[in-house]
Structure 1
Amino acid sequence: MKTFTTIVALVAMLSAANAATIADLAGSTPDLSILVQAVTAANFLDPLMDPNARLTVFAPNDAAFEQLLAVLDVPAEELLADTETLATVLQYHVVPAVAFSTDLTDGQVIPTLLGATLTVTINDDGVFITPTGGPMAQVVAADIAADNGVVHIIDTVLLPAAAGPVEETMAAPTME
Structure 2
Amino acid sequence: MKILKTFTAFAVAGLLFASCEETKKSTPETTVDTEVTETSNEIAMTEKEETPTIVGVAASNDNFTTLVAAVKAADLVDALNGKGPFTVFAPTNDAFAKLPEGTIDNLLKPENKSTLAGILTYHVVSGKFEASAVIDAIKNNDGKFTVDTLNGDAITLSLKDGNVILTDANGGTSTVIMADVAASNGVIHAIDSVVMPK
TM-score range, shorter chain: 0.7 to 0.9
Q: TM-score when scaled to structure 1?
A: 0.80
Tell which deviates more after alignment, 127-136 or 18-27.
127-136
Cα deviation per residue 1:6-64 (whole Å; 9 max; x = unaligned)? 599557524432221100010011111111110010001112212x2200000011111
What's the counterpart of residue 78 of structure 1?
A: 106
Greater fraction of residues in helix: 2
What's the counterpart of residue 97 of structure 1?
A: 127
Matched, 1:116 2:153: yes
Cα deviation per residue 1:47-93 (whole Å; 9 max; x = unaligned)? 2212x22000000111111111x3xx316322211211100001100
What's the counterpart of residue 156 of structure 1?
A: 193
What's the counterpart of residue 168 of structure 1?
A: none
Distance 1:98 1:12, change over 3 A: same
Distance 2:76 2:57 in 1: 15
State the AA in 2 paired with 1:64.
A
SS of 1:20's equivalent in the other structure is: coil
Tell me which of 84, 91, 95 is aligned to 1:53.
84
Distance 2:187 2:53 in 1: 9
Tell which deviates more after alignment, 14-23 or 151-160.
14-23
Distance 1:117 1:75 in 2: 23
In structure 1, the gaps of 5 or more residues are: 162-176
User: Does the 8 Å CA contact 1:134/1:158 hold for their aligned counterparts?
Assistant: no
What's the counterpart of residue 17 of structure 2?
A: none
Tell which deviates more after alignment, 76-85 or 132-141.
76-85
Which consecutive aligned stretches of 4+ in structure 1 deviate over 3 angstroms post-superposition?
A: 6-12
Distance 2:115 2:46 in 1: 37
Matched, 1:145 2:175: no
Aligned length: 156
Structure with greater Cα Rg: 2
Distance 1:124 1:24 in 2: 31
User: Does the 8 Å CA contact 1:59/1:154 hold for their aligned counterparts?
Assistant: yes
State the AA in 2 paired with 1:35.
L
What is the RMSD computed on CA atoms of the aligned residues?
2.2
Deviation at 1:134, TM superposition (A): 2.6
